[in-house]
Amino acid sequence: MTVEVKSEATQVAEVTAPNEEVLKETKDTEKAQQVKDVICGGDECKSKIVEKSSSYREESNFPSDLKEFEKKALNELKSKLEAAILENNIFKKDVTNEAPKESPKEGEEKEKEGSDKAAKEGHEEVEKEVEKKDDEEKKIDEATEEKNEEEKKDDEEEKIYEKTGEKSDENGEEGQKTDVDVEIEKDISIWGIPLLPSKGHEGTDVILLKFLRAREFKVNEAFEMLKKTLQWRKELNIDSVLDEDLGADLAQVAYMNGIDREGRPICYNIFGVLDDEELYKKTFGTEEKRTQFLRWRVQLMEKGIQKLDFKPGGVNSLLQINDLKNSPGPSKKEVRVATKQAVALLQDNYPEFAAKNIFINVPFWYYAFHSLLSPFLTQRTKSKFVIARPAKVTETLLKYIPIHEVPIHYGGLKRDDDFEFSTTDEASEIVIRAGSTETVEIPAPEIGTTIIWDLTVLGWEVIYKEEFVPTDENSYTMIVQKEKKMASNEEPIRKTFKNHEPGKVVLAIQNSSSKKKKAFYRHKIKKSSL
């Protein structure tokens, strides 16, 4: 059997307007997928194992790979950040300890009260004025002495300033507080990575490059973006969000599951779940609930980030899968509001954390709806969008995710709570040419063994059958699955067979269409304990 190996075209879409064509095929310009031959027994049936692909690598975080202007921008941002941290200028100043200022209204009331009192007790004020004049010389002497003390204190303050970069207040207490604040602020970190460049942590550059890329390497804009993110995290106490119980109802709306071809965590967003009216109202019914929804979404993002390593050449981003099947339409105002808020929040505070945003099962109305969101997305963000029609879901996902990591309801081989195969059990791939039949042979030379296999064909629409062929030519072939015409929406197959004589399981796939088909399979054999 001849097996054809050919790199796939990449289907990428960038939506700019509802009436423009959003689905288009482009040739894969990266290296072809690495493959290796596997002997599957019998007549030396050869197939190919799909290994991890380099089809969509991120921009490098190694300093040596950066362009000159990128290196310059990174160094400038590091210098700017170092100075801001040491000078305690990252966060907005805390004014809670300052004496409360009077409002204009309070000032007017007090002024009026003072005037009334002065009018009522005018004679007392005259007497006090006389006393003040008598003591004037005494006060001048005291002022002179106080000035001398003040000059002495200024000298001490200058010494403190040289050490801490901050000046003390009039009573000296703020000078002591500043020493503590500076020590704490030097430990500013984000996602567990220290931000003070002089500490030399390898993850610092990775994070700073995310903010720089989000702002096209404009240093001042990237610096302000980072400051706003740190302020937002501090004000909303984002570092504690992982420990919060924000409800289990939303667990089916979005979740982390598996890794892509580059080892990135995959986040699935299932919008169709929100079509349930009860859950919809519970999630978006009030402003408070929408706020909690956003915090829950931040929590999920933080969970995904926990899986990253922030190392040059490491796993530094996520893959986002957005399933729009049966999702609430654009008439749902609450969804539009929450979506706009979520997009702005994630884009402003989690720059360059999505390697790709893949939209699957896209309905017609989405194209118009997306045009409403476009003004809130940067060009870099929009360039990461991939759109897949319902008929192209599995094919599109396979460009980024290995078949054994694609959930079964998306045409892959991954099952929940699978006790037979693990994520280390990769699948083999074969190509069935138009008008031809290909077979997969699984040897079973020992009596009493149990053979388990998974198989799926992209788009199906083939004729499929399963047989057990004994080694002894005098024995009869056993039909495991009689010949069946498989519809396009068939789920992947999992079968189990126990042999009572030596032989092999033969899976036959007949492609009578005019287009080639791709099939994926894996198997294992369990020997009898007897």
Q: Tens digits of per-residue pLDDT, 412-429? A: 999 999 999 998 999 999
Q: For the residues 47-57, what does the mean pLDDT come to? A: 44
User: What is the rounded CA–CA span in Å between residue 49 and residue 426?
Assistant: 7
Total structural domains in the chain?
Answer: 3
Residue type, 101: K
Q: With respect to residue 227, please indicate whether it lies within any of the assigned structural domains.
A: yes
Same domain, 453 and 477: yes
- The answer, yes or no, to whether residue 225 has pLDDT greater than 60, is yes
Residue 67: give the domain boundaries. 63-90+188-235
**Domain containing 463 — which CATH number?**
2.60.120.680
- The answer, yes or no, to whether residue 57 has pLDDT greater than 70, is no
Q: How confident is the model at residue 353 (pLDDT cuts 50, 70, 90)?
A: very high
- The answer, yes or no, to whether residue 154 has pLDDT greater than 60, is no
Q: For the residues 501-528, what does the mean pLDDT come to? A: 95
Please write the tens of the pLDDT for every residue from 368-417: 666 666 676 667 777 788 989 888 999 999 999 999 999 999 999 999 99
Residue that is last in its domain, among 333, 368, 401: 401
Same domain, 378 and 270: yes
Same domain, 374 and 279: yes
Q: How confident is the model at residue 130 (pLDDT cuts 50, 70, 90)?
A: very low
Same domain, 342 and 379: yes
Q: How high is the pLDDT of residue 49? A: 38
Same domain, 259 and 198: no
Q: How high is the pLDDT of residue 13? A: 31
> Lowest-confidence range among 88-97, 168-177, 228-237?
168-177
Q: How confident is the model at residue 155 (pLDDT cuts 50, 70, 90)?
A: low
DSSP letters spanning 2-66: -----PPPEEE---SSTTS---EEE---SPPPP--EEE-STTT-EEEE-----TTPPPP--GGGS
Q: How confident is the model at residue 167 (pLDDT cuts 50, 70, 90)?
A: very low
Q: With respect to residue 5, please indicate whether it lies within any of the assigned structural domains.
A: no
Give me the phi and psi of 182, to 5 degrees please.
Answer: -60, -40
Same domain, 244 and 371: yes
User: What is the rounded CA–CA span in Å between residue 490 and residue 487?
Assistant: 6
Q: With respect to residue 418, please indicate whether it lies within any of the assigned structural domains.
A: no
Q: With respect to residue 129, please indicate whether it lies within any of the assigned structural domains.
A: no
Q: How high is the pLDDT of residue 8? A: 31
> Lowest-confidence range among 275-289, 470-484, 515-529?
275-289
CB 397 within 8 A of CB 412: yes
Q: With respect to residue 143, please indicate whether it lies within any of the assigned structural domains.
A: no
Same domain, 311 and 441: no
Same domain, 192 and 207: yes
Q: How high is the pLDDT of residue 401? A: 97
Q: With respect to residue 150, please indicate whether it lies within any of the assigned structural domains.
A: no
- The answer, yes or no, to whether residue 181 has pLDDT greater than 50, is no
**Domain containing 231 — which CATH number?**
1.10.8.20
Same domain, 439 and 508: yes
Same domain, 454 and 350: no
Same domain, 478 and 356: no
Q: Is the pTM of this model over 0.85?
A: no
Q: With respect to residue 436, please indicate whether it lies within any of the assigned structural domains.
A: yes
- The answer, yes or no, to whether residue 497 has pLDDT greater than 70, is yes
Q: With respect to residue 58, please indicate whether it lies within any of the assigned structural domains.
A: no
